[in-house]
Structure 1
Amino acid sequence: MFTRTESFKEFLRYYPVVSTIVSIHIVLYLFTIIPFIPNLWLFEHFAGVNLYIVEGEYWRLFTPIFIHNGFAHMLFNSFSLVLFGPALEQLIGKGKFIIIYLTAGIAANIATLIIEPLTYIHVGASGAIFGLFGFFMAMILFKKSKLSAANSQLIITITVIGVLMTFLQPNINIIAHLFGLLAGFLIGSVLLSDKKRG
């Protein structure tokens, strides 16, 4: 389920949403290192800056989901998405995947706005990716027949490790991780709990 055996062309065809999101990550990262574009331009106009959001720049609740602070940050989030996104995109379909991903990411940024100070600045897809983990957790609870016992255990393990690392690593938006996870779980609860449990 989480082992990728497709060729590059097959991956693009089978998982268009994940492929598109990762492509956006890469393109926006390249914009931050292209010599003739000021390096900070993207961050100045689209990063999550709480002060600017309360002043009316509401697009900053959405755009930080696709921007990353450096190559390692972009690579880690994109790699996580490539590992865990395709299975969910295949299970629930492109439309629901987009809704879960973006809603969790925006919810994480709204929580960051409410809890963190106005001077707080943030970027990254982690809140949205934790939303996928949250949805998987809801699936384990409400539709466990969709996942094998081994895959369920893997998801639980990765989620627990992710939450623990949230508190152990420096410069992490803890609020985004936790509320992205919660948002994904709540979305999954709504979409899955009203169906017959399996």
Structure 2
Amino acid sequence: MFIRTEKSLKEFIQFYPVVATLIIIHLALWLIIDLLQLPLGIHFYQWGAGNNLFIHEGEYWRLLTSIILHNGLMHALFNSFALAIFGPALEQMLGKFKFILAYFGAGLIGNIATYLIEPTGFYSHVGASGAIFGLFGIYVYMVVLRKDLIDRANAQVVLTIFIIGLIMTFLRPNINIYAHVFGFIGGFALARLLLNNVQPFSPQRNRRRPNAGSVSFNPNRWKRRRLPRGLAPKIFWIIFGILVVLGLISRIL
């Protein structure tokens, strides 16, 4: 579910076009805003960044545009990396439209909470973290209430990474805590509606025609099928190590 099995970047883009497009947008905006510092990019950043004072004055589009903007390369890479790991399975399960609704809906809920709770003054924020935590909210909903959609090993990965991310939310400086917390709550709240009539994630579904054969996922694997012994901890420590390294680098740069 969270281990990429695509043979090439082309396959990843073909199977998960929404996730791929969002990642391209993140990196393209960083390129034109931070690296090249093009006037058009800088103007877009100033126009689209979340700012409570400007939102209070009626610039409500900032509640959405701030989701695709980031503060520097490491910020964009970190959120893009998380999206590349945890987004594809949900895009396949929900479909393109509902995935976009889930992603931006959770991000919007997190940004609205930020606007309502933080001071109306010049509090500014950018980043897709609230939307990413919204994806975690959907996964946690599956772990708690829709066990037929996720097996035990992947549930353990989700809960472990979510807990680490939540702890880091309160430990790292310059984090929009309300976007993280309420983005998660938004994703969890939207999950009941979005998960109606969905099928579990299956890599095989990417490689066959829609009407060919039956769904290969067996709901009973929650009890019977597990990852090979010792593989789940290795996956956890690899992901954890990457997150820690990225976090340390972001503090240095």
Scaled by the length of structure 2, the TM-score of the pair is 0.74
Deviation at 1:190, TM superposition (A): 3.6
The worse-fitting range, judged by mean Cα deviation, of 24-33 and 5-14 is 24-33
1:2 maps to 2
Deviation at 1:37, TM superposition (A): 2.3
Match of residue 51, structure 2, among 44, 49, 54: 49
Report the secondary structure of 1:58's partner residue.
coil
The unaligned stretches of length 5 or more in structure 1 are none
Cα deviation code 1:57-81 (max 9, x no counterpart): 1110000000000000000000000
1:27 maps to 28
Cα deviation code 1:45-66 (max 9, x no counterpart): 1100000001011110000000
2:17 maps to 16
CA–CA separation in structure 2 for the residues paired with 1:35 and 1:97: 31
Scaled by the length of structure 1, the TM-score of the pair is 0.94
Report the secondary structure of 2:71's partner residue.
coil
CA–CA separation in structure 2 for the residues paired with 1:4 and 1:36: 34
The CA RMSD over aligned residues, in Å, is: 1.8
Report the secondary structure of 1:171's partner residue.
coil
2:164 maps to 161
Flag the 1:177–1:71 CA change in 2: closer, same or farther, 3 A.
Answer: same
Q: Report if the CA contact (8 A) 2:133-2:183 is conserved.
A: yes
1:152 maps to 155
Identical columns (%): 53
1:66 maps to 68
Q: Report if the CA contact (8 A) 2:94-2:194 is conserved.
A: no
CA–CA separation in structure 1 for the residues paired with 2:58 and 2:32: 25
2:87 maps to 85
CA–CA separation in structure 1 for the residues paired with 2:27 and 2:97: 22
CA–CA separation in structure 2 for the residues paired with 1:38 and 1:98: 26
Cα deviation code 1:21-58 (max 9, x no counterpart): 11111111112121442774333111000000010111
2:207 maps to none
CA–CA separation in structure 2 for the residues paired with 1:96 and 1:115: 28
1:172 maps to 175
The worse-fitting range, judged by mean Cα deviation, of 83-92 and 184-193 is 184-193
**Larger Cα Rg: Structure 1 or Structure 2?**
2
Size of the aligned set, in residue pairs, is 196
Question: 4+ residue runs of structure 1 moved beyond 6 angstroms?
Answer: none
Cα deviation code 1:65-101 (max 9, x no counterpart): 0000000000000000001100111122111111000
CA–CA separation in structure 1 for the residues paired with 2:197 and 2:17: 28
The unaligned stretches of length 5 or more in structure 2 are 199-218, 220-253
Report the secondary structure of 2:61's partner residue.
helix
Flag the 1:2–1:108 CA change in 2: closer, same or farther, 3 A.
Answer: same
CA–CA separation in structure 2 for the residues paired with 1:15 and 1:37: 32
Q: Report if the CA contact (8 A) 2:98-2:194 is conserved.
A: no
CA–CA separation in structure 2 for the residues paired with 1:180 and 1:27: 24
Q: Report if the CA contact (8 A) 1:142-1:189 is conserved.
A: no
